[in-house]
Amino acid sequence: MGPSIRGLREAGTGSDEFREAIRQLRTQAAQRVAQLLESDQKKRYRLMRAEAKSGSYRQENVWVLDGGKPVALGLTVGISDGTYTEIVRGDIAQGTQVIVGLSLDGS
């Protein structure tokens, strides 16, 4: 989907056309995902998409190391299945390592 959106931007697509094209790309992607799911997964997926459409985004922090010290990055997150969470907005690059826990023994 990223290359398609980039192509729309580079083509100078107008804002209304751009929004509609993104909506269509998201719908197509959702249909492809749904084809891969089993019936119980499809039900959860529909619920997750409905939640995302309702605009129920929330603010969360994720912690990263900067110069050996933990730093909080504020993110806007969307849907989550408990393992993966959609990042809607925030200054974090794909592949950035995040702190997911702490060691009580100091190692």
**Model pLDDT, residue 64:** 92
pTM for this one?
A: 0.43
The whole-angstrom separation of Cα 54 and Cα 102 is 34
Q: What is the number of domains present in the chain? A: 1
| 88 domain residue, yes or no | yes
Could you tell me if residue 45 is inside a domain? Answer: no
User: Two tokens at 104?
Assistant: 């009580």
The answer to whether position 12 is within a domain reads no
Cβ atoms of 54 and 73 within 8 Å: the answer is no
Say which residue, 34 or 21, is predicted with more confidence: 34
Domain membership flag for residue 90: yes
pLDDT tens digits along 37-83: 999 999 888 888 887 777 677 888 999 998 889 999 999 888 787 78
Q: Whose structure tokens read 């790309």?
A: 25
Which domain, by its residues, includes 86?
A: 55-107
Is residue 46 domain-resident? Answer: no
